[in-house]
Structure 1
Amino acid sequence: MTYKVLLIDDEPGALEGMQLWIDWNKLGFEVCGTCSNGLEGLQQIQEQLPDLVVTDVNMPIMDGLEMIAAWRQRHSKKVSFMIVSGYSDFEYAQRAMRYGINHYLLKPIIQEEAEMEIEGIHRELMQEGEKQSFDQIATYEETVVWIKELLTEQSMSKDSVLSMPLITLSVKREKWNFYLVQADAFMFAELRETAVSLLAPEPFMFLIDLEENSFGIVYGYTIETVDEDRACLVIDELMRRYAGRRLFVAAGMEESSLLSIGRCLQTAKQAIAYLFYKSDYNEVVYYSDIRDKPFHYHYDIHLMDGMLGAIELLHKSSFQEAVHSAASSFRETLIAPDIVKKIVIHLLYRIIEYVRETIDTPAEAMLGKYSIPEISGSVLHLNDLLSRLLVCGEESIELLLKEQTRKSQGIVQKINGYIQEHFRENLTIKKLGEVFYLNPVYLGQLLMKKNGLGFNESVHDLRIAEAVSLLEHNKLKNCEIAERVGYSNYSHFLKEFEKRLGMSPNKYKSNKL
């Protein structure tokens, strides 16, 4: 790591020598400035904020030790000092030790000795930096724990209240607020890591882990400063990096004390629910915008009946219409998202159960396909939720239609077999319906669809085909043949025979002889 060093000496040659003879870059330093007396040095230290100051002791206007004393008296920023002096300035060296300055170079400066001393200072700065980092992390984590206790309304011990710096931290900012962030499980870990990196340089922002797949950002700001804008920038950057992905963010109502941050969380929770009715995942909702828009908890039960009825009737367009109607009703009435999710979950289970009972298929695969167990805690807009219901209903109707087709194919084969066995009898579509427990109208449509021929035509075809066979044997009279194949009216027999063969039974026989 590279640190900044400021060089101070009233002798130009000495300053030039320190810059030329010592390889500062190699030793981990960068010269940020030079000056010729302690007064200029104080100003340069304040402007440049160096990590190390190498200063001559005996200088005009203000000597090096006076400068060090003045800096330490007026400023809290810790700066390492190394003094440079000649053999005759032993008194200065003694005073330096009293100031706690342990690094001392004698003039003329010997390069090897100077580099060894500077290497030691670099190690000290590294160690001090690590210690400060550890202290900052420990302080941050401790503050996060206390804030989380406030958010969860856990009681704090008397010792905690007395020892924690929350009150001190709170008064450093005029206002405090809370951003609530929710995301899908598969992206949550990455999102949280990104948020941690964005918050790292911010002294008045804290990431608080909440329930599964959500976290909060506690932030403090002072009115008429850019503090609040900095929090907005963090959120904007999160939104930019995760554009188009399922991410919910809401801000609560600000409070004047960090100790009231629990109320900010509660109002943020109320606000985030309204994202359910948005159409874009890259929006932030603020409690101040929704505080006068209460949710409702009573809904039209007929909406569910319409969807389930369409499933039972295998009417896809009716189901689609019922879902769109429900969406409009939920939006207009502003039904609470938790209630809508329960309705959709109930419908999904009912649809899947109906399919399972009808087709005798395992329900587990369908439950997993539509992610039903995950809906309650999911980050979903109304449109996406109802799209899942729509797909489930449409696919279920398709499955049921295929099953109906399969079953109807089997029943048609049985019906055709029955007709072939009983066509000689006084067989009607009504009687056939009674045998197979089917509505005569539906049965007629089914036979037409599967056979390409109506019931009556099928019966006449079978009767005339058998009549032709009997005529070829020439052993029975025409009227006997007609009666044997099922015609009680000979005229009807002649009509159907001529219709199919284009000639009378007698003409057919004469052609065969």
Structure 2
Amino acid sequence: MLKVLLVDDEPFIIQGLKVIIDWENEGFEIAGMVSNGKEALQFLENENVDLVIADIRMPEMTGLELLETLRKDKKSDVYFVILSGYADFSYAQQAMQNDCTDYILKPVDKEMLLKVLNKVLVLKNEKNKIDEDNKKMKQAYLAGHLISLIRGKYDEVNLNYVKENMRCEGGARYVEIQVEQLPAGDEILDSDMRSLQRKMYESCVAFLGADSAHCVFDVSVNEKVYDIGFICSDYMAEEAAKNERKYLEDLRRYICDNTQKNIVMLVGRKVSDISKIARSYGNACMLRSFQGFRIVKSIYYYEDEVKISADGIVLCKDSLDELLRTVEQNNHVEIRNAVATFYDEMSSMGMNGESMNLNINYLLFQFIHLASEQDDNVNQQEILRLISESSFKTGIERGSRAHMTRFCCEYGDYLSQLRKNVSRGVIGMVEKEVRDNYATNITLKSLSEKYYVNSAYLGQLFRKKYGQSFKDYLNNYRMERAAELLLRTDKKIIQIAEEVGYHDMDYFVNRFIQVKGCTPARFRRQMQSGE
């Protein structure tokens, strides 16, 4: 509802305006009624209104003087409509020069009033759209500077702009917010993940309110990680009268409720100032790699997962080096023995969970380093996470001896594949597999098993070459075959759907619309008629 202030020294004019139309039905409500310009100014000091309708001739201060005062002092950008008699028409013209929205001749005609109100509604909607566009541009510009800080590649221009346009006092943490990971080998369409990512962002923004600038969409833009970033400043929990962990859990639950998905947070170490937030971001990235070796949680805190005791770090260096050697050589028998020796040494030293995690973290870092030496063009941290997930089976404790043995054997196979440069020919074989068998239930996992390539690595290779997931590639290929059948045959659409691998007609039609922009039936008509 737009708020209206009526200004006229004649009570019967005020009353007539009040009852001449159903204001609420037209999208307006009368916020106040006063008898002259001075009273109007006093009213506007305390109340915000969208529209002032004022008589041009009044004692104390005329409508024209009221308009000039408002525009001159820039006290309000309110829409202003003058009520004028025929004899005052020249004054009305003067009012228009002072950014008066419109004028209405007395006696007030209902249709004329409705016409003017409709004009005000249109102008207000246009202004709201412009304001919203400007707000989005400003948010995007701020987000660009903030991402520079998050990634640690910034200068004083970036830092100063963030500090001038966002509350930054006190300490802060970087929080990566993501959907709970799918099991290794499972895939979801990129378009569906992007839509879910946007819902997460919108939910986070709604929760934060005035602090929405602290939420950043798509921080990991160069990786296929559908996350949002959140700069959690100390004052947020304090002003909400909560401790930090309760505040983050409430935010997580809010996003879960709005997306109907289980949401996971990776919380980096607290830094003293926004200028150091890249360190906290690095912690969150590290947590992402270690997820597969941790007990499943809703929120992972860096301090909990990567703890360093006051006595210093104790590494089983010899056992770790031997395990690294056996994995690099991909000898499964020796890998099993090396894992046993490693865990026995940790046990004999009386290591607790924290110390064991430190040793495992060291091992994982070394694995990433070994893989990056072979191929640094794909996200090796993500592949490590996926392999650790795929090696985890129900009934095995995460990070246990059995889990580590399975993981090391699979990772040894993966490193062996990298050394053989399997990527050189496997993509071509997979492309042929799609061409020959696109209508069957082929998956990335089944192809990786057939060609003896790690499924996580194969998925990364596909993204590297085609810029999309294997599932998207397969669906798009099926859509192109469906389009050919629609053009070259008179087969029924349900038959075509079956022939290209879709047994759910609704899903086929929806996917076709996403790719081609129209239904299969309309596509066929348009192509046949040459539209």
Aligned with residue 301 of structure 1, among 313, 319, 335:
319
- Say whether residues 1:282 and 2:294 are aligned partners: no
Equivalence for 1:35: 33
* Contact residue 323 and residue 390 of structure 1 kept, 8 A: no
* Contact residue 294 and residue 399 of structure 2 kept, 8 A: no
Residues 362-384 of structure 1 show CA distances to partners (whole Å, capped at 9, x for unaligned) of xxxxxxxxx97713699x99944
* Paired letter, 1:301: S
Distance 1:246-1:167 versus aligned 2 partners, 3 A rule? closer
TM-score (norm 1): 0.53
Equivalence for 2:278: 262
* Paired letter, 1:334: N
Distance 2:300 2:197 in 1: 17
Distance 1:312 1:173 in 2: 50
Distance 1:312-1:267 versus aligned 2 partners, 3 A rule? closer
Equivalence for 1:374: 386
Identity of aligned residues (%): 18
- Measured on the aligned residues, the alpha-carbon RMSD in Å equals 5.3
Alignment of 1:4-403 (within 5 A): 4-27=3-26, 29-37=27-35, 38-45=37-44, 47-72=46-71, 78-90=77-89, 92-154=91-153, 165-170=161-166, 173-175=168-170, 177=172, 178-183=174-179, 184=181, 189=194, 192-198=197-203, 199=205, 201-202=209-210, 203-211=212-220, 212=223, 213=225, 214-218=227-231, 226=239, 232=248, 234-238=251-255, 245=262, 247-256=264-273, 258-266=274-282, 268-269=284-285, 279=295, 281-283=297-299, 285=301, 293=309, 298=316, 301=319, 330-335=353-358, 338-339=361-362, 341=364, 374-375=386-387, 383-384=397-398, 386=400, 389=403
Residues 441-480 of structure 1 show CA distances to partners (whole Å, capped at 9, x for unaligned) of xxxxxxxxxxxxxxxxxxxxxxxxxxxxxxxxxxxxxxxx
Aligned-pair CA distance for 1:146: 2.2
Residues 40-60 of structure 1 show CA distances to partners (whole Å, capped at 9, x for unaligned) of 434544555332222233344
* Contact residue 8 and residue 41 of structure 1 kept, 8 A: yes
How many residues matched? 358
Distance 1:248-1:298 versus aligned 2 partners, 3 A rule? farther
* Contact residue 284 and residue 302 of structure 2 kept, 8 A: yes
Distance 1:252 1:228 in 2: 22
Distance 2:43 2:403 in 1: 69
Aligned-pair CA distance for 1:222: 5.9
SS of residue in 1 equivalent to 2:228: strand
* Contact residue 175 and residue 265 of structure 2 kept, 8 A: no
Distance 1:262 1:153 in 2: 5
Distance 1:204-1:332 versus aligned 2 partners, 3 A rule? same
Aligned-pair CA distance for 1:245: 3.9
Distance 1:388 1:140 in 2: 48
Distance 1:237 1:85 in 2: 54
* Contact residue 246 and residue 281 of structure 1 kept, 8 A: no
Distance 1:190 1:166 in 2: 28
Q: Structure 1 unaligned runs (5+)?
A: 346-370, 397-513
TM-score (norm 2): 0.52
Distance 1:61-1:259 versus aligned 2 partners, 3 A rule? farther
* Contact residue 252 and residue 264 of structure 1 kept, 8 A: yes
Distance 1:80 1:391 in 2: 73
Distance 1:153-1:10 versus aligned 2 partners, 3 A rule? same
SS of residue in 2 equivalent to 1:78: coil
Residues 280-311 of structure 1 show CA distances to partners (whole Å, capped at 9, x for unaligned) of 52235376997865766546839979xx8899
Distance 1:58 1:31 in 2: 24
* Contact residue 64 and residue 95 of structure 2 kept, 8 A: yes
SS of residue in 1 equivalent to 2:40: helix
* Paired letter, 1:131: I
Equivalence for 1:461: none
SS of residue in 1 equivalent to 2:215: strand
Distance 2:241 2:76 in 1: 26
Aligned-pair CA distance for 1:124: 1.4
* Contact residue 6 and residue 32 of structure 1 kept, 8 A: yes
Distance 1:179 1:237 in 2: 15
Distance 2:283 2:193 in 1: 22
Distance 1:245-1:236 versus aligned 2 partners, 3 A rule? closer
Distance 2:388 2:405 in 1: 18
| Greater gyration radius | 1
* Contact residue 32 and residue 48 of structure 1 kept, 8 A: no
Distance 2:304 2:42 in 1: 47
SS of residue in 2 equivalent to 1:204: helix
Higher relative CO (CA 8 A, sep ≥ 6), structure 1 or 2?
2
Residues 477-511 of structure 1 show CA distances to partners (whole Å, capped at 9, x for unaligned) of xxxxxxxxxxxxxxxxxxxxxxxxxxxxxxxxxxx
Distance 1:86-1:376 versus aligned 2 partners, 3 A rule? farther
